[in-house]
Chains A and B, each alone.
Chain A
Amino acid sequence: MPEADTIFAHGDIITMGGPEGTAEALAVKDGRILAVGSSAAVLRTQGPATRMVDLGGRTLLPGFLDGHSHFINAIRMARWANVSAPPVGSVRTIPELIAVLAETKARQGLKRGEWLVGYGYDGTTLAEGRELTRDDLDPHFPENPVLVMHVSLHGAVLNTAGFAAAEFDLFAPTPPGGMTARKPGSNEAAGLVMEHSFLPIFMHMPAPTEQQQLDAFAAAQALYAGDGYTTVQDAPMEPATRPLYHKAAEQGRFFLDFVGYVNWLEFPELIRTRGEPFKEGYSKHMRIGGVKVVADGSPQGKTAFWTKPLLTPGPNGEKDWRGEPNIAPEELNKLVKLAYDNDIQIMVHCNGDATIDMVLDAHKAAGAPAGKRTVIIHSQFVRPDQLDLYVRYGFLVSFFTNHAFFWGDVHVENLGRERAWFLSPTRSAIARGLRFSNHSDFAVTPLNPMFILWTSVARTSRSGQVIGPDERITPAQGLKALTIDAAYQYGEEAEKGSLETGKLADLVVLDRNPTKVAIDAIKEIKVEETFKEGRSVYRRA
Chain B
Amino acid sequence: MRASAASLPPSREILFTVVGGYLGSGKTTLLNQILRHAGERRIGIVVNDFGGINIDASLIDRRGDEVVSLANGCVCCSISAGFAEALARLAHRTKPPEHVIIEASGVADPVRVGYFGSMPPYRLDGVVVLADAETIRARVRDKYVGSAVLRQLRSADLIVLNKVDLVSEAGRTALGTWLSEQVPGARVFPTSQGRVPLAVLLGLHEAGAPGESDDGKHDHGEEYASLSVTMDTPLGEVAFRASVAEWPGSVLRAKGIVYLADDKLHRYVFQLVGRRWSLTQDRLWRSDPPRTELVLIGLACQLDGETMLAGLDAAKAGA
Q: Which residues of A contact B23 (CB under 8 A)?
A: 328, 330-331
Partner of B22, one of A176, A202, A266, A328: A328
Which residues of B88-132 are within 8 A (CB) of A? Answer: 88, 105-107, 109, 115-116, 118-120
Let me know if B80 and A268 touch, CB within 8 A.
Answer: no
Let me know if B119 and A203 touch, CB within 8 A.
Answer: yes
Let me know if B81 and A199 touch, CB within 8 A.
Answer: no
Partner of A176, one of B81, B82, B118: B118
Q: Which residues of A contact B22 (CB under 8 A)?
A: 328
Q: Give Cα A202–Cα B115 distance, bound, in whole angstroms.
A: 14
Please classify the interface of chain B as helix (H, G, I), strand (E, B), loop, or mixed, using the class held by over half of its residues.
loop
> For the complex, is B5 an interface residue (Cβ under 8 Å from A)?
no
Q: Give Cα A172–Cα B225 distance, bound, in whole angstroms.
A: 38
Q: Give Cα A325–Cα B52 distance, bound, in whole angstroms.
A: 21
Q: Chain B: how many interface residues by the 8 Å CB criterion?
A: 29
- Name the residue on A nearest B81 (C-beta): A240
Partner of A269, one of B48, B51, B84: B51
Which residues of A267-324 are within 8 A (CB) of B? Answer: 267-269, 305, 322, 324
Q: How far is the CB of A167 from chain B (nearest CB, A)?
A: 9
Given that A325-B148, A331-B106 are known contacts, is A177 also in contact with B118, CB under 8 Å in the complex? yes
Q: How far is the CB of B309 from chain A (nearest CB, A)?
A: 32
Let me know if B147 and A269 touch, CB within 8 A.
Answer: no
Q: Give Cα A263–Cα B52 distance, bound, in whole angstroms.
A: 12
- Name the residue on A nearest B115 (C-beta): A177
> For the complex, is B159 an interface residue (Cβ under 8 Å from A)?
no
Given that A199-B116, A324-B109, A328-B106 are known contacts, is A266 also in contact with B82, CB under 8 Å in the complex? no
Which residues of B115-171 are within 8 A (CB) of A? Answer: 115-116, 118-120, 144-145, 147-148, 151
Let me know if B82 and A240 touch, CB within 8 A.
Answer: yes
- Name the residue on B nearest A268 (C-beta): B51
Q: Which residues of A contact B144 (CB under 8 A)?
A: 305, 325, 329, 354, 357-358
Let me know if B148 and A268 touch, CB within 8 A.
Answer: no
Let me know if A176 and B50 touch, CB within 8 A.
Answer: no
Let me know if A196 and B115 touch, CB within 8 A.
Answer: yes
> For the complex, is A175 an interface residue (Cβ under 8 Å from B)?
yes
Let me know if A200 and B148 touch, CB within 8 A.
Answer: no
Let me know if A238 and B81 touch, CB within 8 A.
Answer: yes
Q: Give Cα A66–Cα B148 distance, bound, in whole angstroms.
A: 34
Let me know if B120 and A329 touch, CB within 8 A.
Answer: no
Q: How far is the CB of A280 from chain B (nearest CB, A)?
A: 23
- Name the residue on B nearest A323 (C-beta): B147
Let me know if B50 and A202 touch, CB within 8 A.
Answer: no
Let me know if A199 and B107 touch, CB within 8 A.
Answer: no
Q: Which residues of A contact B148 (CB under 8 A)?
A: 324-325
- Name the residue on A nearest B24 (C-beta): A330
Q: Which residues of B contact A327 (CB under 8 A)?
A: 105, 107
Q: Which residues of B contact A331 (CB under 8 A)?
A: 23, 50, 106
Let me know if A328 and B51 touch, CB within 8 A.
Answer: no
Q: Which residues of B contact A354 (CB under 8 A)?
A: 144
Given that A265-B50, A330-B23 are known contacts, is A239 also in contact with B81, CB under 8 Å in the complex? yes
- Name the residue on A nearest B91 (C-beta): A203
Q: Which residues of B contact A178 (CB under 8 A)?
A: 118
Q: Give Cα A267–Cα B118 distance, bound, in whole angstroms.
A: 32
> For the complex, is A326 an interface residue (Cβ under 8 Å from B)?
yes
Q: Give Cα A265–Cα B107 distance, bound, in whole angstroms.
A: 14
Q: Which residues of A contact B81 (CB under 8 A)?
A: 238-240
Q: Give Cα A328–Cα B48 distance, bound, in whole angstroms.
A: 13
Q: Which residues of A contact B51 (CB under 8 A)?
A: 265-269
Q: Which residues of A contact B52 (CB under 8 A)?
A: 266, 268-269
Q: Give Cα A329–Cα B120 distance, bound, in whole angstroms.
A: 35
Let me know if B107 and A328 touch, CB within 8 A.
Answer: yes
> For the complex, is B215 an interface residue (Cβ under 8 Å from A)?
no
Let me know if A175 and B118 touch, CB within 8 A.
Answer: yes
Q: Give Cα A200–Cα B117 distance, bound, in whole angstroms.
A: 11
Q: Which residues of A contact B50 (CB under 8 A)?
A: 265, 268, 331, 334
Which residues of A401-432 are within 8 A (CB) of B? Answer: none
Given that A175-B118, A265-B80 are known contacts, is A322 also in contact with B147, CB under 8 Å in the complex? yes
Let me know if B80 and A266 touch, CB within 8 A.
Answer: yes
Q: How far is the CB of B18 from chain A (nearest CB, A)?
A: 14
Let me know if B115 and A200 touch, CB within 8 A.
Answer: no
Q: Which residues of B contact A322 (CB under 8 A)?
A: 147
Q: Give Cα A200–Cα B87 distance, bound, in whole angstroms.
A: 10
> For the complex, is B85 an interface residue (Cβ under 8 Å from A)?
yes
Q: Which residues of A contact B88 (CB under 8 A)?
A: 203-204
Among A202, A326, A328, A358, find the residue whose CB has the most chain B CB atoms closer than 10 A: A328
Which residues of B19-69 are within 8 A (CB) of A? Answer: 22-23, 48, 50-52, 66
Q: Which residues of A contact B82 (CB under 8 A)?
A: 238, 240
Given that A324-B109, A325-B107 are known contacts, is A203 also in contact with B151, CB under 8 Å in the complex? no
Q: Which residues of B contact A200 (CB under 8 A)?
A: 119-120
Q: How far is the CB of B19 from chain A (nearest CB, A)?
A: 16
Q: Give Cα A324–Cα B50 distance, bound, in whole angstroms.
A: 18
Q: Give Cα A354–Cα B88 distance, bound, in whole angstroms.
A: 35
Let me know if A203 and B85 touch, CB within 8 A.
Answer: yes
Q: Which residues of A contact B120 (CB under 8 A)?
A: 200
Q: Which residues of A contact B78 (CB under 8 A)?
A: 239, 265
Q: How far is the CB of A289 from chain B (nearest CB, A)?
A: 19
Q: How far is the CB of B142 from chain A (nearest CB, A)?
A: 8
Partner of A239, one of B80, B118, B147: B80
Q: Could you list 5 A-B pairs, sorted by A, with CB under 8 Å? A: A196-B116, A265-B48, A265-B78, A266-B80, A331-B50
Q: What 6 additional pairs, Cβ within 8 angstroms, besides A324-B151, A325-B107?
A: A196-B119, A202-B84, A265-B50, A265-B51, A334-B50, A358-B144
